[in-house]
Structure 1
């Protein structure tokens, strides 16, 4: 299997739902929600990609970073790379249904584990979404993270309990899903949370808690204040609110305030290991990838997911060699070119 073969198979299996463009920038699928695009004009999806593309790196080759160590530790677990599979659901209405929800998330969780990292499972209007993810995590002895929609607190806590019972490494809410159209269409509305509501959830959960969908400094500081263990700087892939900035635009200010106080994940527009390096240099501790994982699963199943993650890992290593970074801790803003 090579990347072109993987993309070709994915294009066939995703026909009518994703064009598997030569470069995935959100322009061909503007407004295709449900589907694989960004909401409205698609500007938020596009902004994620363009914000990353505008960042330039300093090429350095006089150093001793010949064999970079890209391993990291998240919530006490050592991972082979600072790249995790983002929570993704809706194979039927977003991706055409050639792969069932249960099989898809099993591919993601298992493929991620085989690559030495973790996959996240998601939630949605159909109960099978979350159930399939929890089942996949349990089958992999807890090697996965469960992310829940911002439902009523009682429903979130019930799902968090199931994640605990499955042995999941962590649990969280994709609070950026507060306005998801697809959830409303399925009769399960979601919405924002107050600090008090979030505190109630976090204090009743045994697992490290993640808030996914943080795009401002004040909300990042609130996450620290209420006891969350991690945030995901994300605009939900540009799929919920039109005209937001790209993640790379807001990440530095957030990292400046909360780096070291809370684990920071970045999510949005990542298309290569070089993009991973950029997010790390901007202040992220690890990075989530979504659409590339879909291409991997629809193009090659579990092995395809593993292939994509390992491809990103190889690209990251090469980029670290060429910027003089011997390990993830040594990646910082010094590798970024500033006029």
Structure 2
């Protein structure tokens, strides 16, 4: 199996919704929402990739690191790589409808279980999107984390209960979906969450809570003080607000602010193992990857997803050897290019 062949097949199956670019950087698909691009000018998506590009590593080969350990622990579970499948929905409108929500969730869940990492599922205006992820977690037994959009507190608590019953290891809220017009127009409430509301959710669910869509140190501290277990530094792939900063640029201030109070995860522009290592060096515990996994699914199904995840893991392993990094507790320093 070859990544270029997977991309070409995905381009065909996604019917123009994604071009399967050699580098998935948001330029060719700028403004294509619905579609795989970033909203408006596409700057938020593009900036995620540029922000990662600005950080550099130092090549080191005079050391004794021969077999780096790329495993990590999340939510009390050992995973084989610090790379998780991001929650993705809306395949019909964003990817052409070649795969149904259930087909996609099932193949990603199976792939994540097979490679030993965590599967995350999403939520949106279609009432079947959340159950599709829940059913994938139930049927595969994968380490799974369903995400709810920022609905009413009562609706979120109910979705967390469903997640618990399905055997999920944690539960998330996509707080950066607060301004999703498509959901508001369909008569479904989404909106920002106050600290008091977050505390209510924490107090009334039986799973660790993750907030996805944190982009400032101030809001990271609010989440930590409200009892949240983890945050995802994310601008929703640049799909909800134009001209946001790249996640790699805001990550250091956020991780410095919260210290070891909560786990900090991150997404946005991560494509390769060296991208993963950079994000870890900037303070993240693990990364989420979305668009490339969507491309893999459309280019070769479960096997292609496993191929891609293992490819990223191999690249991370190699990058750790070439930076003298023996494990994820001893990541190398990174340097911002001027």
Shorter-chain TM range is: over 0.9
CA–CA distance in 1 between the matches of 2:41 and 2:124? 24
Secondary structure in structure 2 of the residue aligned to 1:328 = coil
Q: Contact 1:177/1:240 (CA < 8 Å) preserved in 2? A: yes
CA–CA distance in 1 between the matches of 2:163 and 2:254? 29
CA–CA distance in 2 between the matches of 1:72 and 1:182? 37
- Structure 1 segments, 4+ long, off by >6 Å, are none
Residues 237-271 of structure 1 deviation map (CA, whole Å, 9 limit, x = unaligned): 00001111000110000111113110110110011
Aligned to 1:296: 296
CA–CA distance in 2 between the matches of 1:5 and 1:259? 42
**CA-CA distance at 1:196 after TM superposition:** 0.6
Q: Contact 2:7/2:21 (CA < 8 Å) preserved in 1? A: no
Residues 141-165 of structure 1 deviation map (CA, whole Å, 9 limit, x = unaligned): 2521111100011111111100000
Secondary structure in structure 2 of the residue aligned to 1:147 = strand
**Pair 1:9 & 2:20 matched:** no
Aligned to 2:67: 67
Q: Contact 1:38/1:44 (CA < 8 Å) preserved in 2? A: yes
Secondary structure in structure 2 of the residue aligned to 1:287 = strand
Q: Which runs of 5+ in 1 are unaligned?
A: none
Q: Contact 1:58/1:337 (CA < 8 Å) preserved in 2? A: no
Aligned to 1:141: 141
Residues 44-95 of structure 1 deviation map (CA, whole Å, 9 limit, x = unaligned): 1011000001111101001111110000000111000000000000010010
CA–CA distance in 2 between the matches of 1:233 and 1:337? 19
**Pair 1:206 & 2:194 matched:** no
Q: How does 1:264-275 map to 2 (within 5 A)?
A: 264-275=264-275
Q: How does 1:1-339 map to 2 (within 5 A)?
A: 1-141=1-141, 143-332=143-332, 334-336=333-335
TM-score (norm 1): 0.97
CA–CA distance in 1 between the matches of 2:259 and 2:97? 40
**CA-CA distance at 1:337 after TM superposition:** 6.2
Q: Contact 1:142/1:166 (CA < 8 Å) preserved in 2? A: no
Q: Contact 1:281/1:336 (CA < 8 Å) preserved in 2? A: no
RMSD, aligned CA: 1.2
Q: Contact 1:232/1:267 (CA < 8 Å) preserved in 2? A: yes
CA–CA distance in 1 between the matches of 2:285 and 2:191? 28
TM-score (norm 2): 0.98
Q: Contact 1:144/1:170 (CA < 8 Å) preserved in 2? A: yes
CA–CA distance in 2 between the matches of 1:185 and 1:292? 29
